[in-house]
Structure formats: structure tokens, C-alpha cells
Structure 1
Amino acid sequence: MSLLNKFEYEILKVIQEHPGLNPESISKYCDQPANIINSRMTSLIRNLYVEIGCGRDMYDETYKITAEGLRAMVDYKAHKRGIFWFLFEDRFWKAATLSISIAALIVSYLAYSKSQATEQYVKIEIIREIQAPIMGSQSQNVSDSRNSFEKNGIQQKK
């Protein structure tokens, strides 16, 4: 069994679906000129995937797929299915690792931003603690001055 290219498998599929076609009819299904179909048919006939039959005229060639051709089509479909699952699995695992990496990056960014916010909060608290005695003494002075105004009978405007 020789390996065929994708176009030859396409020709086999057309012949399988529409047995008894001539090269001109096959060229219409495959969107290729008849001379290209004829050149591809020689390798298919040589490998016994297709057999030649007589059409309406004695000189009109028609093609029919053989048992070897059917087996080649089944093998090709199985091979394509295997490649599909191989590629699917490969891409799945790559996407999974990429997703995990992105999630880890997002979590680390959130943790970093939270730590920055906490650090900023701690700085503010430290500044408040440092300024509290100063503010306390100033507020004490204000309270003292209020008391002295009240003792002297002067009221503050509010």
C-alpha cells in the first residue's frame, strides 16, 4: 500500500460516492482540469485502488473503486481521526498550562496589590501615632482656651 496525497484521497472519495464517472465528471467534482485528474488516476490504477470500466461508448473510460481503494479510504479516515485527537490533546495540555500560568500571575498580582495597600495603611497608622501626641497637646490647648473663655464669660461663636 503506497501513501497517497490528499488530492488523491479526494478523488477516491468522489469515485466512491459516484461510481462510473469519467475524468471530465470527476474534474467537475474536484474543481481541477481533466488532464490533472488523468495524471493522478494513473497512480491510483497502478496501485489497484481504482479499476477502469467501459462507459456508454467503447472509448469512454469510467472508474470504479476497488476493495483496496475502500481499505485505503478507511485507513485514511482513521489516520485523520488519530491526528485530530493527537492535535486536540496536544493543544488542550498547552492551553491548560497557559491558563494555570495566567491564573498564577493574576493571583500574585492581587496579592502584591493587597500587600501594597496594607503597607500604605500601616504607614498612615504610623504617621497618625506619631502625630497623635502633637495633636493631643494642641487639642488640650484648645480645650484650655475654651475653658478660660467660659470662665471669663466670653462665648465663642459657632
Structure 2
Amino acid sequence: MQRLDYFSLAMPAFHHLLAVDQYCKKSSVDPTILRLVQIYASQINGCAFCVDIHCKEAKIAGERELRIYHVPIWEESPLFSEKEKAAFEWTKAVTLINQGPVPEELFQKMKQHFSEQEIVDLNMQIAFINLFNRFAATFKSVPGARDQALGLGKANLS
């Protein structure tokens, strides 16, 4: 059971954050990569609510289920491109920034696959999902609780 309704209690702030969400959705980064990053960061953060939502969104958007299942094992999986793997590695480094700075070598790898604008936009998405993970995980949002409101029943994953 969810501990409290943080969204209602901080609605003015969340309305502002929705503008960041819209920015991310319209950003220069391939939407497929953004969805994979949302899933992976949410997994790292142990946010079941967000993993649930973003897996369903990815399936509805046409992502192959096997690729969704392979997100936790992206390093060994042959299903992801080098660009996607760089995004996963970047996501891990940014999400776990408390474990040390993002290595220069990783930044250079990112520059091989992404423009400067894409790197900034990808970082914005990672920061944004990390923020939401911290609310949903802390207050124990229930996976599937927003399916109807978000139209996620179309994923047929219940």
C-alpha cells in the first residue's frame, strides 16, 4: 500500500516537473533509448512502480519484449546496439554518481555515439527519472496502480 499521495500533496511542484517530462519526450534522443534508460535507471533505484510503467510504455510503443527482459543484462545481451549500450553505461554512471565521478573515458564513448545536445538531453532524462524514482520508491507507489489513468492496459502485461 502506498504510504501517502505525494503527487497530490506537492501538486504545484509536480505540474512544473511535467514540463521537464514534455521536454524529455520531445528531446533530440531516440525515444527507444529514452524508454530503455527509464527502465534501467528505475531498476537500479529499485523502483518497482516506475519499472512497471516504463516496461508497459515500451511494449505499447513497439519494443520487443525480449529486449525489455534483457535490460538488466544489457552488458551481455546481443540485442542492444553499441549506442544503446553506451546509453545504459551512462545511465548507470549518472544514477550512481555517489560512487564516483563519471569517467572521462565514458564521456568520450558517449561523444562517439551522441551529439552534445543528445548527451545533455539524455542526462536530463536520467536526472528526471531518478527524481521520480525517489518519490515512487520512498512512498511505495503500487505497481499497476496508474495503469488505467495512463492507458497502460494496452500492453497486455497484467
Q: Which structure's CA Rg is the greater one?
A: 1
Q: Could you say which structure has the greater relative contact order, defined with CA pairs below 8 angstroms and 6 or more residues apart?
A: 2
Tell me which protein shows more strand as a share of its residues. 1
- TM-score, L = length of structure 1: 0.23
